[in-house]
Amino acid sequence: MGKTIAQKIMASHLLSGDMTPGSEVALRIDQTLTQDATGTMAYLEFETMGIPRVKTELSVAYVDHNTLQCGFENSDDHRYLQTVTAKHGIYFSRPGNGICHQLHLERFGKPGKTLIGSDSHTTTGGGIGMLAFGAGGMDVAVAMGGGAYYITMPKLYKVNLTGKLRPYVTAKDVSLELLRILSVKGGVGAIIEWGGEGVATLSVPERGTIANMGTEMGATTSIFPSDEVTRKFLAAQGREGDYVPLTSDPDAEYDRIIDLDLSTLKPMIACPHSPDNVVAVESLKGVKVDQVCIGSCTNSSLYDMLKVAAMLKGKTIDPSVSLSVSPGSRQVLTMLSDCGALSDILASGARVLECACGPCIGMGFSPNSGGVSLRTFNRNFLGRSGTPDAQVYLVSPETAVASALTGYITDPTTIAEPLNVTMPEKFLVNDSAILPPLPAEKAADAPVLRGPNIKEFPKSRAFSDSLTAKLVLKVGDNITTDHIMPAGAKILPFRSNIPYLSKFCFEVCDPTFPERAKAAGDGVIVGGSNYGQGSSREHAALVPMYLGIRCVIAKSFARIHIANLINAGILPVTFENPEDYDKLNQDAVLTLLDIAAGMERGRLTVTADDGFQFYVNCVLTARQKAILLAGGLLNYTREGGM
């Protein structure tokens, strides 16, 4: 039988396991990336492993999230990152150089290679034919040390593209349409491969947009073929030597095939507060808009920005709208400036922000109270913008500009003027903001600079054979890691300070949670389905662990979060009978007996203090059980496991 693209890359990187869906595979990782908000913790973890130099082909640390520097915390973290990476053989992309995923596509991504990154949108690398996964910081630390990356072998979906996008309909609309079809859960346990004749009509940045948003469907990753379009993109970046062709075999088999005719798609919009709450833009025509934000790792490429500039050229945005534009990288910004497009953006009244995540993660540019904000980003979770009652919608850059010009949600296909933008033959390459690591002989004595914001890593506890713990919080379906551990300008600078962060845990759901969890000693959280969707932040596991949470019982879990819980030594289990969820009350005291034996059987009995008894499943691999029994991945690695 022929192979899919993902199967080919996996087969050439397989360290152990068998590639049938549902079984665990261990993959060799060629490249890693981190960003600052998760990276500080990942390097602290890497340091505890005592390995002098990374063992990957390439590891890069980007600084793009925490660039506001409202106090010493961010600057201290930047210095820590710069010095720890120089010492251990890791490239360092300086603050302001751009957003990790955009930069990685431009400068480092290679078709056919494996990549893991401590950011859920690392999947953007699929746009250039990489098998790229978002992971928790600890998994990235282990991969930097030469360890394997373990995943459950996903199912394989194919999206078969035909036709060509109409003017003003974009790759973002393709993603939004797929989210409408699949929902935020529809990609769980699957790799989405993009194929069909329509693929050749999409540029690498457009493919990056689509691979980026596969994460919002819960997909393990997304991947495109590496073809002539890929070769041209790499050549334009001065990296033609990195090109290898890659396609699926004609007789490759998929678990599900979805057909999409690009020529029939319309501009789409995701309504508050979920990326799958998607309708056609035309159906919201006339809704008043207060703010428009263009940028993020989803839509900040040169191609996107040139289209934005062309649409703004000679026009002025509506006076009632505040428009921000954040180019994805220094390369994008410089090229916009050199060709005059930046002047067109500025002349329209837009505010040009730094090449960073910025408003996407609530670092500035929060909307006004109750404001309607149209964003070209990938997530519109409640409160993420920094304004709790804002109404955030997700759109393409074209819909964003059309709406900024009129002041109302506007379908860009109603614009009569043609939009002619082409990709350049050559990108301007200047890697001066990417610092190479120190040579090995100089690294040994190089200091690592730490500031006072870097606090000790919290200690996780090994499981004894029984657990009696209070049900400190009961939440519903689709709880995101933004609910569990919010980000934003006030909290994000403290990502290396777990005790401080813990004050904000579950703030959106129940601000009394941290105090109650601490008072309880040992705690349990009960959740609905898709618990922990969204970001890869391991803080959403480390902070509850710090607050005493030992077990999470949910109807189902999101992939990266369940791995992070296990790595943090928190037992994740699912209801055998989902209706038992309704029978549990917050504050109940739950007892789990015979934990090790139950883990072995894959089933545990839970007894509540009112006598109610129910069963939970824990389908864990031998390695995961050993990690949990050791009290988390760091303990397990220290004890010799890898």
Q: Tell me how far the alpha carbon of residue 12 is from its chain's centroid.
A: 25
Task: Kindly state whether residue 538 participates in binding ligand MIC, applying the rule CB under 6 A.
Answer: no
Selected range binding ligand SF4 among 357-365, 459-467, 548-556, 631-639, rule: CB under 6 A: 357-365
Among 115, 204, 353, 361, which residue interacts with ligand SF4 (rule: CB under 6 A)?
Answer: 361
Q: How far apart are CA 603 and CA 605, in angstroms?
A: 7
Look at residue 108 and give its three-state secondary structure: helix
38 binds, among ligand MIC, ligand SF4, none (CB under 5 to 8 A by kind): ligand MIC
Pure H helices in 159-287: 171-182, 204-213, 228-236
Task: Kindly state whether residue 296 participates in binding ligand SF4, applying the rule CB under 6 A.
Answer: yes
Pure H helices in 255-316: 302-312
Selected range binding ligand SF4 among 267-275, 276-284, 354-362, 584-592, rule: CB under 6 A: 354-362
Q: Tell me how far the alpha carbon of residue 589 is from its chain's centroid.
A: 35
Residues 522, 469 contacting (CB under 8 angstroms): yes
Task: Kindly state whether residue 38 participates in binding ligand MIC, applying the rule CB under 6 A.
Answer: yes
Q: How far apart are CA 298 and CA 300, in angstroms?
A: 6
Q: How far apart are CA 594 and CA 604, in angstroms?
A: 8
* Smallest separation (angstroms) from ligand SF4 to the CB of 480: 12
Nearer residue to ligand SF4 within complex by CB, 111 or 534: 534
Nearer residue to ligand SF4 within complex by CB, 220 or 329: 329
Task: Kindly state whether residue 119 participates in binding ligand SF4, applying the rule CB under 6 A.
Answer: yes
Cβ burial, residue 510 (10 Å; 0-12/13-18/19+): middle
Give the dihedral sign, CA 368/370/376/379.
positive
Task: Kindly state whether residue 536 participates in binding ligand MIC, applying the rule CB under 6 A.
Answer: yes
SS3 content of the chain, % helix, strand, coil (to 5): 35, 20, 45
Residues 223, 129 contacting (CB under 8 angstroms): yes
* Smallest separation (angstroms) from ligand MIC to the CB of 109: 18
324 binds, among ligand MIC, ligand SF4, none (CB under 5 to 8 A by kind): none
536 binds, among ligand MIC, ligand SF4, none (CB under 5 to 8 A by kind): ligand MIC
Cβ burial, residue 417 (10 Å; 0-12/13-18/19+): exposed
Among 10, 37, 395, 489, which residue interacts with ligand MIC (rule: CB under 6 A)?
Answer: 37
335 binds, among ligand MIC, ligand SF4, none (CB under 5 to 8 A by kind): none
Instruction: Centre a 10 Å sphere on the Cβ of residue 365 and count the other Cβ atoms it contains.
Output: 22
Q: Is 185 left (phi over 0), alpha (psi -120 to 50) or beta?
A: alpha
- Residues 30-89 close enough to bind ligand SF4 by CB under 6 A: 65
Backbone φ and ψ of 540, nearest 5°: -70, -10
Task: Kindly state whether residue 634 participates in binding ligand MIC, applying the rule CB under 6 A.
Answer: no
537 binds, among ligand SF4, ligand MIC, none (CB under 5 to 8 A by kind): ligand MIC
Amino acid at 1: M
175 binds, among ligand SF4, ligand MIC, none (CB under 5 to 8 A by kind): none
Amino acid at 465: D
296 binds, among ligand MIC, ligand SF4, none (CB under 5 to 8 A by kind): ligand SF4
Selected range binding ligand SF4 among 23-31, 125-133, 355-363, 578-586, rule: CB under 6 A: 355-363
* Smallest separation (angstroms) from ligand SF4 to the CB of 534: 10
End-to-end C-alpha distance for the chain, whole angstroms? 33
Binding site for ligand MIC (CB under 6 A): 37-38, 65, 119-121, 134, 361, 487, 535-537
Binding site for ligand SF4 (CB under 6 A): 65, 99, 119, 121, 296-297, 357, 360-361, 377-378
